Amino acid sequence: MDLKQTKTYIIGNWKMNPASEADAEEMFDEVEDEVYKIDDEKVEVVICPPFVFLSNFDSDGKVKLGAQDIFWENSGAFTGEISADMLRRLGVRYAIIGHSERRQYLGETDEMVNLKIKAALAGKVRPILCIGETLEERQRGDTGEIIVNQVEKALTEIPEKDLIGNLVIAYEPIWAIGSGAVPSPDEVMSIGLLIKKILAKIYGNRVAAESVPILYGGSVNRDNAFDLVDKTGLSGLLIGGASLKPREFVEIVRRFAK
């Protein structure tokens, strides 16, 4: 069975934007109106809006819905949290887990990330595991060690059968997010190969390594998007700021639909 990735994943993370329901609906509709003719066997388009807007969107269209976080329990006294079951009932297919902003500002640990991935997989929501190094770690030459540590801890006690066809990994160097700076395609390619090597080591074969889409994120725009996939061998992009500009986001999607 050939599990090598042929589909391109273009995922928009709106973060804490926009301010109003009307703006959110306008942005989503503009993207959906433009991508409805795109072959979804070639490109998987996902939008991850704030939780409060998820129920406003059609979950059965070409644009798939993603959440920006998930909790590791299904119910209980966990004020402010959202479970996999709640998300799935809204038609949510994906959930971003371990984004650097949650790690940095909200103290999310690798152990919490692991619990969230397990909950997402159990709840039939595809986890998008975010990993990446800080500028200081990069300057010290610690990028490889950081990536190995984050992936291994995130996948602790997760069997291969649960992982295949479900997990997505997004490499987002923290120093690139919102900075306008991006690593070279060669650097991105080397990280992609490292992630595959880690997966092969964890599971003892190349099946998991070939079945998991690996994406790049961090200051992606219309000018660098194509090279960050075409010249790296990665499977797509996790896009922040440019996803808030529907025309630019759609332009990026179209580049991979040809």
Give the model confidence (pLDDT) of 146-204 as tens digits: 999 999 999 999 999 999 999 999 999 999 998 889 999 999 999 999 999 999 999 99
Tokens of 252: 């990026």
pLDDT digits (tens, 9 = 90+) for 205-250: 999 899 999 999 999 999 999 999 999 999 999 999 999 999 999 9
Res. 39 pLDDT band, cuts 50 70 90: confident
Cα-based angle 214, 90, 95 (whole degrees, multiple of 5): 20
Gyration radius (Cα) of the chain, Å: 17
Q: Rounded to an integer, what distance in angstroms lies between the CA atom of residue 128 and that of residue 100?
A: 12
Catalytic residue among 99, 101, 137, 248: 99
Q: Rounded to an integer, what distance in angstroms lies between the CA atom of residue 32 and that of residue 51?
A: 19
- DSSP-derived letter for residue 184 is -
Q: Is 73 one of the catalytic residues?
A: no
Domains and CATH numbers, the chain: 8-12+19-255 (3.20.20.70)
Query: How much is the pLDDT for 60?
Result: 87
Are the CB atoms for 233 and 194 separated by under 8 Å?
no
Catalytic residue among 34, 133, 137, 172: 172
Q: Is 30 one of the catalytic residues?
A: no
pLDDT digits (tens, 9 = 90+) for 66-87: 999 999 999 999 999 999 999 9
Q: Rounded to an integer, what distance in angstroms lies between the CA atom of residue 12 and that of residue 48?
A: 6
Query: How much is the pLDDT for 1?
Result: 45
- Residue ranges of alpha helices (H) inside the chain are 21-35, 84-89, 100-106, 110-122, 135-139, 143-154, 160-163, 185-203, 207-211, 225-230, 246-255
Q: Rounded to an integer, what distance in angstroms lies between the CA atom of residue 246 and that of residue 92?
A: 20
32 has pLDDT over 60: yes
Q: Report which secondary-structure segment, H or E, holds 92.
A: strand 92-97
254, 240, 217, 142 alpha-carbon torsion, rounded to 10°: 170
Query: How much is the pLDDT for 4?
Result: 63
Query: How much is the pLDDT for 44?
Result: 97
